[in-house]
Structure 1
Amino acid sequence: MKFLYYSFFLFFISAAVLGQEINADAVMSEAKREVEKGSYDKALSLLEPLRAKFPEDEDIKIYIGRIYSWKKDYKTAEKILLPMADKANPNPEALTAVINVYYWSEQFEKCIFYCDKYLELDPKNADVLLIKAGCLERLNRDKEALTVLEKAYAVDNSNSKITGLQTLIGHKTKNAVAFSYLNISTSNPGQQPQHYGYVEYSHKFSKSALVGRANIGNAYNDTQMLFEADYYQTFAKRNYLYVNAGVSTGETIFPIAKAGIEYYFAPQKRFDYSLGLKYMHFNTTDVTLLTGQVGYRTGNYTLAYRPYYDTANELFSHVLSVQNTNEDTERIIRLELQYGNVPYLYLYNNFIEPLKAYRIGLQYQHRIGSSFFIRPVFLYEYEEYSPEKYRNRFNAQVILTKRF
C-alpha cells in the first residue's frame, strides 16, 4: 500500500511540474504572438509573472530585455540584460541583445566593446562583425571598419549588407587615380593599330569634384598628348553640371583644343535628362556636337538614348544603351548600340564624311575589395571607311581605378 501511495503521490507531483512547464511554454508562445502584433506592453504583462516564478531562467529575462529594446526603452533593457552579459561566462544570447541595444541607441563605443566580447566566443560571426563595422563607420573609423568587413566577407561573401557598407565607406573617400589603355585595330582591310592611354586623378569636395587627365595617343606614325580637366558641380541628388576643357600637343590625333558642357537633371522619379554640347578645334576646321540624353530607370536597369548632332557636317548619330547596376557591389554591366559618328570617349577627329558606321559595345565594372575597380570595354564596329566599302574595327580598352 505504501508503494502505491508514493507512486500516486509522485505521479501527481510530476504532473503538476509538467503542467507548469507546459504552461510556461504556452505563455511564451502567446507573448511572441503579441510581439508580432506590436503589442509589447501586453506581451510584458504576460511575461513578468513568469519571470517572478522562474527568476533564474535566462531565456525569459533575455526575451523581456529584447521586448524593452524593441519598445526603445533602452535603459530598462540594459538593466535587465547587462548582468547576464557581464558575468564571467556571459550568455551569448544576452550579449547579442545588449549589442542591439547599444547599436540602436547609437552608443557605438559600448556596442563595439560588447561586440568584441562576443567575438571572443565566436570570432567568425558575420552578423556581429557587420554590426561592429557599422559602429566604426558611424564613428568615422573607416579603415578599422574595412578591416572588420574583410573578416565578415571571408565568412559570408553573399551578405549584401557587407558589400553595401563597403560601398558606403568607399563613397566617403575623396581621391581616386585611374589608368587606361585602348587599342584600336581593323581588319578586311587592316591598318596599323592605334594605341591610346591616360592617367587621371580626381578629388571630391563637398558638392563638387575636379578631375585632371593626361592622355597619350599613337596613330598615323605619330605620338601626341592631350591634357584636360573635368569639373562636376552638384545641385541636388541627381542634378549636376559637367564642364570639360583640354589642349593637345598636336593637330591630328587629338583636337588642338576642346571644351564641353552638359547639365543633367531628374525632374521625375524614374526619368532623367541632360542637355549639352562639345566643341573641338582642329587645324582645318571646328566641330560642334549638340547632345543630350533621356534615361528611364526601373529597378537595377537603366534604358537610355543619346543623340549627337554634328552642326558643321549636318550629321546625326545615335546611342541606345541598357545598363544594369548593383549599387551594393558597384558592379556595372552595360550594352550599347550605336549608329553614326559617335565619339568614342575623347576620340573624335575632323575627317568626317557622311559614311555609315554600326557598332555594338559591352563594358563591365567589377570592384575588388572595397576600393579597386577593373573595367574592361569592348566595342565592335562595322564601318564604311570609303563609299560602299566596309571593314571591321575593334576597340578594346581596360580601365583600372583605385580610390583612397
Structure 2
Amino acid sequence: MKYLYITCIMLLLVSAAHAQSWKNQSIEQIFKQARTEAREKEFTKSREKLQYILHFVPNYHDVSLQMGRTYAWEGRYMDALLIYNRVLKQDPGFIDALHAKIDVEIWSDKLDKAYETTRQALEYHPDNEGFILKKAKIYQYGGDHDRAIETLNEVLKVNPANIEALDLKIVLEEESRQYTAVVRSGVDMFDQSFDPAIFGSVEVNKKNNWGAVIARVNYAHRFEQFGLQGEVDVYPVITDKVYGYINYGFSQSVLFSNHRIGAEVYAVAFDKLETSFGARYLQFSTQSIVTYTASMRYYLKSFELSVRPFYTHEKSFAAASIDFGVKRNFKKPETYLEFTAGLGYSPDIRINQTFAGQTDSFYTLESKRASIKVQRSLGDRWSAALESRVNYRELSAESDEYLLITSLISTIKFKF
C-alpha cells in the first residue's frame, strides 16, 4: 500500500511537471503553441499561455489580439472588444487591431459602430484596400447594395486586380437585380398525321426578402385551337432551411386545366439534401384530379441528383409515375447541363399535356419520356437555354398504339 501511494504521488508530480513544461520554452514557441491550440478550439489552454506571455511582455500587441480572437471565436464579443480597445488606446492606427474590431462589430450586428470604426481606420490609412472593402461589406449587410457597389469601385480604383472585391461586386450586382424576365417558346412534332403544336410562356420573377413570386402567362396553339392560361407561383421562405411553393393557374381554354392549384413544402437537411412533399389539384371541364408528389434532390459537388414520384388516385383511375434527373452545374453562373427521364402516368407533368383539348382522358395516358437541356450565361444579365424532349406515349387509353412526340424548347432570361 505504501509503494502504491508513492507511485501515485510520483505520477502526479511527473504529470504536473509535464503540464508546466511549456513554460520552459521561449516566448515565441509558447505563442506558436497558443495559436495552434486556438485553431483547434482549445481556447482555455490557449489563453493560459497568452496570459503568461503578457505577464512578462504587457505590450505585445499580437498576443493581445490573439487573446481577443479566442473570445470572438467563442462568441464572447464584449470580452474581445475590451482587448481590442485597450490595444487601440495604446496604438490607435494599429491595422490588425482595427480589422479585428470591425469584424467583431459586424459579427455582433453593431453595423453603426463598425461603420464608425471603419471611418476612423480610413483616416489613418486612406488607401487601405482592406478597410474600403470592409466598408463595402457593412453596406452589404445593411442592405444598401448600391452604396456597397460604389465602395467596391473605390477598391478597384486602388487595385483593379483585387479578386475579393471583383467577386463581391458580381454577387452584389446579382443580388441587386430583383427581377427576371423569361420568354419561353417550343414546338411539338408528331410521328403521325398531326400538325406541329406550338406552346410557350412569358413570365416575370421578383425576389423579395420573404421569398419570390412569379407571374406567368402560358399559351398554346394546337389542333387548330389557341388558348391562354394565367399562373402565379409564390415561394415563401419559412426558415433558413425550409421554404414553400404555392401555385394557382386559371384558363377558359380546353388546352389547359380550368383551375390548377399546387402546394409543396421543401426542407434542406445536412446542406446537401433537399426533400419536399406536396399536392396538385387540376380541374378540367368534366373531372377534377388530385395528384400527390414528393421530391428528393442531393447536391454532390457540381452535380444535382433528383427523383420525383407522383401518385394519382380517383374513383375510376389510380396510377403513379416517377422522374429522375441529373444536373451538372458549371462555374460560370446560370450555366448547366441537365438530363431527365421518367415513365408512368401523371396529369401534372406538362410534357404529358400534349393532347389536352382532344380527349377528356388525356391524363390517363401512359408515357415514357426523356429530355436534355443546356443553359449558358450570356454576360451578367442574359442567359439562354435550349431543351430537347422525347415523349413516347399512348395514343388513347382504349388502343395499344403509341405516338412519338419530339419537342424543342428555347428560353431567354434577362435580369434587371
Structure 2 length-normalised TM: 0.65
SS, match of residue 140 in structure 1: coil
SS, match of residue 250 in structure 1: coil
Could you tell me whether the CA contact under 8 Å between 1:302 and 1:324 is conserved in 2? no
Question: 1-side partners of 2:345 and 2:237: how far apart?
Answer: 30
Identity percentage over the alignment? 10
Q: Decide which of 338, 343, 347 is 2:342's aligned counterpart.
A: 338
**Which residue pairs with 1:74 in the alignment?**
81
Q: Report deviation, 1:162.
A: 3.9
Question: 2-side partners of 1:240 and 1:356: how far apart?
Answer: 31
Mapping 1:276-291, distance limit 5 Å: 276-282=279-285, 285-286=286-287, 288-291=289-292
Q: Report deviation, 1:286.
A: 3.3
Q: Decide which of 354, 365, 390 is 1:381's aligned counterpart.
A: 390
**Which residue pairs with 2:406 in the alignment?**
393
**Which residue pairs with 1:142 in the alignment?**
145
Question: 2-side partners of 1:67 and 1:346: how far apart?
Answer: 64
Question: 2-side partners of 1:354 and 1:117: how far apart?
Answer: 73
Question: 2-side partners of 1:332 and 1:82: how far apart?
Answer: 53
**Which residue pairs with 1:357 in the alignment?**
368
Question: 2-side partners of 1:146 and 1:277: how far apart?
Answer: 42
Question: 1-side partners of 2:229 and 2:350: how far apart?
Answer: 15
**Which residue pairs with 1:259 in the alignment?**
260
Pairs aligned (count) = 352
**Which residue pairs with 2:53 in the alignment?**
46
**Which residue pairs with 2:32 in the alignment?**
32
Q: Report deviation, 1:29.
A: 3.8
Could you tell me whether the CA contact under 8 Å between 1:225 and 1:248 is conserved in 2? yes
For each residue in 1:81-114, what CA deviation from the matched residue of structure 2 results, as whole angstroms up to 9, or x when unmatched? 466554xxxxxxx324312212213332134325
Q: 1:334 to 1:164 in 2, by over 3 A?
A: farther
Residue 198 (1) aligns with residue 202 (2):
yes
Residue 113 (1) aligns with residue 119 (2):
yes
Q: Report deviation, 1:183.
A: 1.4
Could you tell me whether the CA contact under 8 Å between 2:191 and 2:404 is conserved in 1? yes
Q: 1:389 to 1:161 in 2, by over 3 A?
A: same
Residue 226 (1) aligns with residue 239 (2):
no
Q: Greater shift after overlay, 212-221 or 98-107?
A: 212-221
For each residue in 1:182-237, what CA deviation from the matched residue of structure 2 results, as whole angstroms up to 9, or x when unmatched? 2124375684351412123546474x655432233344455432222234555545
Q: CA RMSD in A?
A: 4.5
Q: In the alignment, residue 344 of structure 1 is paired with which amino acid?
A: R
Could you tell me whether the CA contact under 8 Å between 1:103 and 1:135 is conserved in 2? no
For each residue in 1:352-390, what CA deviation from the matched residue of structure 2 results, as whole angstroms up to 9, or x when unmatched? 263533213335586965xx5736252421424745555
Question: 2-side partners of 1:367 and 1:130: how far apart?
Answer: 28
Q: Report deviation, 1:63.
A: 5.1
> Mind listing any 5+ residue stretches in structure 1 that lack a counterpart?
1-24, 53-59, 87-93
Q: 1:315 to 1:129 in 2, by over 3 A?
A: farther
Question: 1-side partners of 2:226 and 2:334: how far apart?
Answer: 35
Q: Greater shift after overlay, 313-322 or 383-392?
A: 383-392
Could you tell me whether the CA contact under 8 Å between 2:367 and 2:392 is conserved in 1? yes
Question: 2-side partners of 1:310 and 1:197: how far apart?
Answer: 30
Which structure's relative contact order is higher, taking Cα pairs within 8 Å and 6+ residues apart? 1
Q: 1:78 to 1:345 in 2, by over 3 A?
A: farther
**Which residue pairs with 1:21 in the alignment?**
none
**Which residue pairs with 1:293 in the alignment?**
294
Q: Report deviation, 1:320.
A: 1.6
Could you tell me whether the CA contact under 8 Å between 1:264 and 1:275 is conserved in 2? yes
Q: Greater shift after overlay, 72-81 or 383-392?
A: 383-392
**Which residue pairs with 1:57 in the alignment?**
none
Question: 2-side partners of 1:229 and 1:250: how far apart?
Answer: 17
Q: Report deviation, 1:41.
A: 4.6
**Which residue pairs with 1:6 in the alignment?**
none
**Which residue pairs with 1:104 in the alignment?**
104
SS, match of residue 28 in structure 2: helix
Could you tell me whether the CA contact under 8 Å between 1:99 and 1:114 is conserved in 2? no
Q: Report deviation, 1:290.
A: 0.9
Q: Report deviation, 1:129.
A: 5.5
Q: 1:392 to 1:214 in 2, by over 3 A?
A: closer
Mapping 1:361-372, distance limit 5 Å: 361-362=372-373, 364=375, 369=380, 372=381
Q: In the alignment, residue 119 of structure 2 is paired with which amino acid?
A: F
Could you tell me whether the CA contact under 8 Å between 2:190 and 2:196 is conserved in 1? no
Q: 1:230 to 1:320 in 2, by over 3 A?
A: same
**Which residue pairs with 2:184 in the alignment?**
181
> Mind listing any 5+ residue stretches in structure 2 that lack a counterpart?
1-24, 38-42, 72-78, 107-112
Q: 1:137 to 1:229 in 2, by over 3 A?
A: same
**Which residue pairs with 2:251 in the alignment?**
248
Could you tell me whether the CA contact under 8 Å between 2:136 and 2:147 is conserved in 1? yes
SS, match of residue 105 in structure 1: helix
Could you tell me whether the CA contact under 8 Å between 1:329 and 1:367 is conserved in 2? no
Could you tell me whether the CA contact under 8 Å between 2:87 and 2:97 is conserved in 1? no
